[in-house]
Structure 1
């Protein structure tokens, strides 16, 4: 269940095994590719290039795509067991992790995942976004935080060469934002973004990236992290170079702040009017403590980018603290820590939303290894013939899409972009996606 990178990698590994297998990939969206299509910023063509490899997997005859099918609504676990020997859940993480902060529920306070879904043209979110702030705060120093900050700071015309839908372009075009402030609770050596993601901030001719020299502090734990990781060293060197350079005159500014722990979102008449942070300091081991020194920032919107959270799947055990399905090497465990027969997980719902897209390959390999070891113990389905599940969906009136249908939608989106010299323009409306895919 789930035709994003995690599900497709699992299908790839299983298909390449010695097992005599056919695989159906169910997807809640009418289109495949999950996080690549609806979670990666549109100005990341390098990452979106992963689609080429995933496309080759879905082209194989033993793998079938069944889109626009929602687990828990259109079918349940017992239904799947009627057609399949085993079920792998690879549904990812698409919700925002909560942040316990006074004022976090004020109008103008947003979750990063919701904003990402909007600018990526997710069919299940509103078509408009309240882009009225001139100064914005982003809480977090991971890759998603930088994506959000970059999209907010860039001009809409810079993104016109990407696949952003017209409504997203129109919204960003009207945005009055001039300053975006990104806040990290710890120091530069503890930042979670990648060197490539960081350097991309400075590529815009319209955005000045500003780093403050007083934030370039390091304790023994930080120095050890620098020596142990080439990636950390590259991040810090880039930040240090930016901290000592002269500030330019680009029309928009993206500020990177370290040692600022969010303390309160300030409000007036129910709306965000500022952010209060507490200055922190190192404790010697790379961690930080509060200093009691507070600073109020004049911002009119706050975006929390403190992590994604998976959703609880019906009939499947769920750890609400970690946001994952309890499992042992991919085998789903019930409340008594016994294996749930024939049920497996992979990807973010298995290990949490950490790491890059490529890291899900290791998850998939572990899960498929477990599944193949269990083959002789799996219960045979009552209706294993490939047509049975199609009849089931048709009888329920579910307008499912197929790999052939994706080919039609893919061609349609490319045709929309061609007159503008763009690779594609993403179709947003679910009904339109279905109309084109099922034509």
Structure 2
């Protein structure tokens, strides 16, 4: 091939950006377009990470350096499946990589889960992160709230619910989110983990951050705070598990404060079995679990009821199907072998690849996507000799297609305009930035010079 390899990456979150970076570092000349449904880049970092996580938000700086490479072009506001379809991408690109992530909540099949004020964590996260397609209003009239889950998303949800709104004013939260949290009636947040403290999937830094929230008391309930043989082995073999368990042990030994406006409770070995209520959530019924010696649990047949007027489930994310691409609804992934997308017969669809959570499921931290992307890109590069060539590969041809389809796409220069605008909004209030929420407004700002 005498020209650069033309590659379209659908999804401009960390997985897509890392894949683009690895491609640019290969010996093969490349010309990459990163397409995203949102007018702004960064995906999960912008719309899935709590606003008071500056360390994780700092990953944006690394992603920015990658996206400024001349081989990479950002095309935002492009909704794959509507604005452009797979056969059109294959017409303009030699290879297509899907990195669309996981955007929905995994279901929790227990009675009452569909009652009013029973929420998926993703919907709440999208609200407080100002996701353009999320609701702008969120009712926070519950005094007692139950959060189901033992991972970082559950921790984020519980922390934001317990936090004082003024403590988030230094972050980029939109004004509607600040007002919603300011009016919150929450006094007690109860986090329920089905297994023990040594099996929790929190990361130590995120866990310890909880201890720096003014006006919030952390309460670890001793019932269920148990360790079995597998737990002890995990503590010996993993510094992360050791730190998590010790942190909870230290909190459990504290004297009660009894003078804080809000409390965050941790309940271990409590499995959710029913959301109680008639017209809306009134409580959560849990079964007392016991460790079986190997890190697993079983029910004891003993049940407890905790009053709650709202329930948030954080039991995992789930990817949405990708149009014109096979999808496994059981695993929530695109069938693939090492990132090579497979058809219904198990054969590789030539020139079509996947990476990130849509490839392997929503597991692992952001950094884990680098190794995942490396596997996909290595396989893509090894397929070059058998890969069909794009019929119309010049860079401007896909722009003409988008314009003919009436797509108001945004660019990297447009993102810089929006980025500067958000920072200016924040500067006026002594904040780092204030996030623009409305999609059309984002596009208008990004295209004001175009």
Q: Deviations over 1:272-328 (max 9, x none)?
A: 001101111111211111111111111000000000000001111111111111111
Residue 420 of structure 1 deviates from its aligned partner by 1.0
CA distance in 1, matches of 2:134, 2:301: 40
- Normalized against structure 2, the TM-score is what? 0.97
110, 121, 145: which one aligns with 1:112: 121
- Counterpart of 1:54? 63
Secondary structure class of the residue paired with 1:246: coil
1:301 paired with 2:310, answer yes
Unaligned runs of 5+ in 2: 1-9
* 1:258 maps to which of 264, 268, 284: 268
Partner of 2:349: 340
The alignment status of 1:196 with 2:198, answered yes or no, reads: no
SS of residue matched to 1:297: strand
Which residue in 2 is equivalent to 1:166?
A: 175
> 1:379 maps to what in 2?
388
For 1:71-150, list aligned pairs within 5 A. 71-150=80-159
Q: Which residue of 2 aligns with 1:38?
A: 47
Task: Report Cα offsets for 1:132-154 as digits up to 9, x if no partner.
Answer: 10000000010000000000000
Q: CA deviation at 1:215?
A: 2.8
Contact residue 213 and residue 244 of structure 1 kept, 8 A: no
Shift of 1:419: 1.4
Give distance in 2, aligned partners of 1:222 and 1:195.
16
Which residue does 2:299 correspond to in 1?
Answer: 290
Q: Aligned residue for 2:250?
A: 241
Q: In the alignment, what sits opposite 1:325?
A: 334
Per the TM alignment, residue 266 of structure 1 is displaced from its structure 2 partner at its CA by 0.2
Instruction: Give the Cα–Cα distance (whole angstroms) in 1 for the partners of residues 212 and 204 of structure 2.
Output: 13
Report the alpha carbon displacement of residue 20 of structure 1 after superposing the two structures with TM: 1.1
Work out whether residues 223 and 268 of structure 2, in 8 Å CA contact, stay in contact via their aligned partners in 1: no
Map residues 306-317 of structure 1 onto 2, 5 A cutoff.
306-317=315-326
Which residue of 1 is the match for residue 364 of structure 2?
A: 355
Detail structure 1 runs of 4+ shifted over 3 Å in the superposition.
none
1:349-376 CA deviation, whole Å, 9 max, x = no partner? 0111111101100011000000000011
C-alpha distance in structure 2 between counterparts of 1:308 and 1:28, whole Å: 19
After the TM superposition, which residues 208-287 of structure 1 pair with which residues of structure 2 at under 5 Å, given as runs? 208-248=217-257, 249-268=259-278, 270-287=279-296
Please state whether the residue corresponding to 2:49 is helix, strand or coil: coil
SS at match of 1:357: coil
Report SS of the residue matched to 1:54: helix
Aligned equivalents of 1:380 and 1:94: distance in 2? Answer: 32
SS in 2 for 1:213: coil
User: Which blocks of at least 5 consecutive residues in structure 1 are unaligned?
Assistant: none
Q: Is the 8 A contact 2:224 2:270 kept in 1?
A: no
CA deviation string 1:63-102 (max 9, x = no partner):
0000000111111100000100000000000100000010
Distance in 2 (CA, whole Å) between partners of 1:213 and 1:244 is 9
Q: Tell me, yes or no, if structure 1 residue 12 matches structure 2 residue 21.
A: yes
* 1:216 CA drift (Å): 2.5
Partner of 1:178: 187
Q: State the SS of the aligned residue for 1:214.
A: coil
Native 8 Å contact 1:143 1:197 kept in 2:
yes
In the aligned structure 1, how far is the partner of 2:62 from the partner of 2:182? 33
Q: Which residue of 1 aligns with 2:4?
A: none
Report whether the alignment pairs 1:412 with 2:424.
no
Q: In the alignment, is the contact (CA less than 8 A) between 1:28 and 1:67 conserved in 2?
A: yes
TM-score by length of 1: 0.99
Is the 8 Å Cα contact of residues 222 and 286 (structure 1) preserved in structure 2?
Answer: yes
For residues 365-406 of structure 1, give each alpha carbon's deviation from its aligned partner in whole angstroms, at most 9, with x where no partner exists. 000000000011111111100000000001111000000000
Deviates more, 1:63-72 or 1:212-221: 212-221
Select which of 370, 373, 378 maps to 1:369: 378
